[in-house]
Amino acid sequence: MFFGRSSELGKLDEMYNSNRFEFAVIYGRRRVGKTTLIREFIKDKNAMFYAASESTAQDNLLFLSRCIAGKNSAPVFTDYENALSAVFEKAETERFVFVIDEFPYLAAAYRGISSLLQIMIDHNRENSKLMLILCGSSMSFMESQVLGYQSPLYGRRTAQFKILPFSYFDSLPFLQGFSKEDQALLYGVAGGIPEYLSKIYSHKSVKENVIELFLTPSGHFFEEPSNLIKQELREPSTYNGIIEAIARGASRLSEISTKSHAESNKCGKYLTSLIALGLVKKELPVTETAGKKSIYLLEDQMFRFWYRFVFPNMSAIVAGLGERVYVAEVEPQLSAYMGLVFEEICKQWMLEQMKQDALPFFSGKLGRWWGNNPRLKRQEEIDILAYRENQALLGECKWTNSLVDINVFDDLREQSKLFSYEECWFYIFAKRGFTARLKQAAEQDERVKLVAFEEML
């Protein structure tokens, strides 16, 4: 069953209905659902879907020829120019969609494909009814070699789609049958990758799902991250060490280098490769655009969970001790692990509120903040900071079984003095709820908004 991606489907349908030449570039990390989105889009349309392979130019030409000629016809094209000419000729009289999936594979096999497509587009676009879609999982390739200024295809595309993982709220259709808290836990374990979410069993508990999927040698996710790293990158052992260091809390370049034993002068390059794969993200305090305060976090929740709990316990899991690993390692740390997950869910909720114009002001700047408190001579962290001109919104997120007390509000007010905003609002998010003292303070101060996790849904 297909879930979500309504805005992407709507735009693709709009392009299709234009009945003129359209060229869409669709890209995003592996398993994010690009091919599923395309197949959903073309299911009721006149379309031709070609999936390139990691093979030779001749093999790919043979597969492309079969795709164009049809299952019951012998492939007749002896070169790529003739094959693509047949596609554009077909589009002279009828509207149809031509998809090249995993375009980077084809470009690696036949280096002239981008230039050839450019010539075909320039020669035919004025009178063509073709809707061309190029799709790829290598984000660095798609951004530089398809969308980039140096690409022969630069300026030809009419739309581009960077397909991102689902938000927590978009993931909920995959998690029907679980309690709201368990839905959050499972999102924290699997992240927003549709392929991963689809493997969760609705008739089993969180514990049973985690053990069966992660902590069993035959589990679907037991080797998933390590296989992906081996497939995409050289020196997998070095990358494993870097990702594990981040999963266990290292965030600054020097700290990651030390804990992973990666050479400091090369660690930055390794991190850049992981960022290109969509596995790691680089963050600055939301008020800054450059500087030395940058930190690194894992972008993919499933990788974060795997490197935190599976990677260091693989010997025990192979020995059949997956349930013991869950009880001894996962269960005691799950609440602390969910801290960053809950922060992300709260940010997503804030963005949804912004769409509905339900916040005190609109802000295009929303994120984490950290920096020095010169008066108290200590480092401060703010989970959520949104600002615009002289207005700011400060948020704190607490994934704890205890009721959140008034000291959290006191801390936020103190932190607001680090800035010169004239108006400040305070949003406090809680897993369980709030004490009577904090509720009373919120009733007396309209700038304070208390948001319990249950209310976010």
Query: What pLDDT, on a 0 to 100 scale, did the predictor assign at position 286?
Result: 96
Pairing of strands 280-283, 295-298: antiparallel
DSSP state of 307: I
Pairing of strands 130-136, 47-51: unpaired
Query: What pLDDT, on a 0 to 100 scale, did the predictor assign at position 376?
Result: 84
Query: What pLDDT, on a 0 to 100 scale, did the predictor assign at position 74?
Result: 65
DSSP 103-114: HHHHHHH-TTHH
Between helix 236-247 and helix 224-232 the angle, nearest 10°, is: 130
Pairing of strands 366-373, 378-388: antiparallel
DSSP 437-454: HHHHHHHH-TTEEEEEGG
Which has the closest alpha carbon to 81: 124, 117, 35? 117
Query: What pLDDT, on a 0 to 100 scale, did the predictor assign at position 324?
Result: 98
At 420, give phi and psi (nearest 5°).
Answer: -110, 25
- Spatial CB neighbours of 255, under 8 Å, sequence gap ≥ 6: 245
- The CATH number of 169-341 is 1.10.10
DSSP state of 56: -
Is residue 409 a contact partner of residue 448, using CB atoms and an 8 Å limit? yes
In this structure, the dihedral spanned by the alpha carbons of residues 273, 279, 285 and 291, taken in order and rounded to 10 degrees, is -10
CA 284 to chain CA centroid, Å, is 18
Q: What is the pLDDT of residues 126-170, one digit of tens each?
A: 999 999 999 999 988 999 999 999 999 999 999 999 999 999 999
Query: What pLDDT, on a 0 to 100 scale, did the predictor assign at position 178?
Result: 97
- The CATH number of 6-162 is 3.40.50.300
> Among all chains, which residue has been given the structure tokens 């929303």?
366
Pick the CATH number of 359-456 from 3.40.190.10, 3.40.50.720, 3.40.1350.10, 1.10.1060.10: 3.40.1350.10
DSSP 341-408: HHHHHHHHHHHHHHHTT-SSS--S-EEEEEEEETTTTEEEEEEEEEEETTEEEEEEEE--SSPB-HHH
Is residue 240 a contact partner of residue 311, using CB atoms and an 8 Å limit? yes
Query: What pLDDT, on a 0 to 100 scale, did the predictor assign at position 375?
Result: 85
DSSP 226-291: HHHHHHH-S-HHHHHHHHHHHHTT--SHHHHHHHHT--HHHHHHHHHHHHHTTSEEEE--TT-SSS
Q: What is the pLDDT of residues 16-41, one digit of tens each?
A: 999 999 999 999 998 999 999 999 99
Q: What is the pLDDT of residues 370-408, one digit of tens each?
A: 999 988 889 999 999 999 999 999 999 999 999 999 999
List the chain residues with pLDDT less than 70.
71-75
Indicate the domain borders of the chain: 6-162, 169-341, 359-456
Is residue 329 a contact partner of residue 310, using CB atoms and an 8 Å limit? no
Q: What is the pLDDT of residues 13-22, one digit of tens each?
A: 999 999 999 9
Query: What pLDDT, on a 0 to 100 scale, did the predictor assign at position 272?
Result: 93
DSSP 163-211: --PPPHHHHGGGGTTS-HHHHHHHHHHHTT-HHHHTT--TTS-HHHHHH
Radius of gyration over every alpha carbon of the chain, rounded to an integer in angstroms: 25
User: Which three-class secondary structure state does DSSP give residue 161?
Assistant: strand
